Structure 1
């Protein structure tokens, strides 16, 4: 079993609790889902962004975070949660030690992410220069004004640009964390985490990096949810429509009709979206097109390219 990934939260003073706790809960629950008692998938660490021993949240809760950064590898993730802004500037001075740690982690191949005003910390390092990024709608204009090299994407839940991810803040940090779990372990695991946390499927936004599993779960059709549970777990298998319908004890025609009414897709179309998303996540991690295609249940890179082209035409 591979070693768990470290998710290091670089916690600022006056942090908003949900900016921190939401993503932390997602990764912790994913660890439970994947068997945290036998190695697990994620190991969480908390470090002060400002190098202090402990911080106090905006909500007044003291947090015991370490002043020094843990040892990190290219497999690991650093998340900078947001802080209370109110009517003030969202920009804050970033210590030389924090800037060096964030840049060094990205330079060695690691991923970095932010929630809400945490985007300003990433921008201060230069890691957002030339990249697409987002932040809370109240401070999008300030981010664009202070950092003109950043391509600010407005009014979306989150943006992933290579190994740098940013989210709009507050509860959208959960959406981003679910996407990252799906990229690491597939949509079936992310679906189990989402259901465990009882989070809404999709609330708003149209970011193309949003999880297909979340995008098409915004309905109340129990039959379709059960079909999606099967597809989420077995999307890489050659699962026939009649086999899926048999598992659910309905006819293929009934399943297709109800599935389309609830999601706008056929079961096959949903399965193909899951495969494309999984392949894209693996490509972000450096897999070849052929390897990513096969891991996602496709014969080779040619099938992946054909499905991607078909998907693009359907959304135009």
Structure 2
């Protein structure tokens, strides 16, 4: 089923706030995932913070519960408290409220959290924004739980991200949630984003944390493991994919990834995916089967070591 990604553009929109997530979902669509991008605004011509005018539609597409509504941020002069929300048509805020009330997900990048707050969607929920705007967001919306020093938050289908480039992290997180970490890693690599960051967690996804090296042979082997991590992958198969001997692969892999063997890398991917499934309600047993373990004992051992 096609997922519509609808960007609500406001005057003064930051180009990277918009382009970063749009590039993530557009690239995911290029890889065969069913995303369809839309851009709406109160007026057809939208001035950006960087001076480039943007063209948008004024009619909202019909939204379903699987669709995503994103508000990119805009330039906020100092002090931010003197600047009103640059949305003047109540229908825009109504659309945000209605989509969430119908079971859909709404998201913001940077100052876009203010639009979610004006729609009443931050009340009682965790949220974040650019570090320069956090105090003002908390003052304007005292019922919101503004979280500091995080890249993004998720709370009851309300997703907010910090400053500008963190919109890429947020979008990759959403792609991973819908299609798995291999899909997000594939998109990130295509965008040359080698350090995807994970919300409040300081570590990056294992698929990207060990990709900062320049060894093409090891990248090819990692590509294979990333896609087939839930399958048995004998060392001979991996060495054949890299065109090297098993001994050479083991030594080069360890050197490129900071000490990991191919098996340990595969287990790390399995563990990360299993933790994601468990956090979304799966049992340990079902998560173990999903990521390729014969039973849950190995998964429990790996979890106890992490």
Q: Please indicate, yes or no, whether the TM-score normalized by the shorter chain is above 0.5.
A: yes
Counterpart of 1:251 in structure 2 is: 246
Give me the whole-angstrom Cα distance separating, in 2, the residues matched to 1:119 and 1:282.
Answer: 28
Q: Displacement, 1:9?
A: 0.5
Give me the whole-angstrom Cα distance separating, in 1, the residues matched to 2:227 and 2:285.
Answer: 22
| Matching of residue 75 in structure 1 with residue 66 in structure 2 | yes
TM-score normalized by the length of structure 1: 0.80
RMSD: 3.3
Q: Which runs of 5+ in 1 are unaligned?
A: 35-39
Counterpart of 2:269 in structure 1 is: 274
Q: Residue 30 of structure 1 is aligned with which of 28, 31, 39? A: 28
Q: Displacement, 1:210?
A: 5.2
Matches within 5 A, 1:288-299: 293-299=288-294
Q: Displacement, 1:10?
A: 1.0
| Matching of residue 154 in structure 1 with residue 152 in structure 2 | no
Q: Residue 8 of structure 1 is aligned with which of 6, 9, 18? A: 6
| Matching of residue 128 in structure 1 with residue 119 in structure 2 | no
Give me the whole-angstrom Cα distance separating, in 1, the residues matched to 2:113 and 2:255.
Answer: 38
Alpha carbons 2:218, 2:256 under 8 Å: kept: no
Per mean C-alpha deviation after superposition, the further-off stretch among 230-239 and 86-95 is: 86-95
Q: 1:120 to 1:107 in 2, by over 3 A?
A: same
Per mean C-alpha deviation after superposition, the further-off stretch among 181-190 and 88-97 is: 88-97
Give me the whole-angstrom Cα distance separating, in 2, the residues matched to 1:250 and 1:86.
Answer: 59
Give me the whole-angstrom Cα distance separating, in 2, the residues matched to 1:61 and 1:291.
Answer: 50
Query: What is the DSSP-based 3-state SS (H/G/I as helix, E as strand, rest coil) of the residue aligned with 1:137?
Result: coil
TM-score normalized by the length of structure 2: 0.82
Give me the whole-angstrom Cα distance separating, in 2, the residues matched to 1:288 and 1:18.
Answer: 39
| Matching of residue 87 in structure 1 with residue 78 in structure 2 | yes
Alpha carbons 1:221, 1:262 under 8 Å: kept: no
Q: Displacement, 1:286?
A: 7.3
Alpha carbons 2:220, 2:241 under 8 Å: kept: no
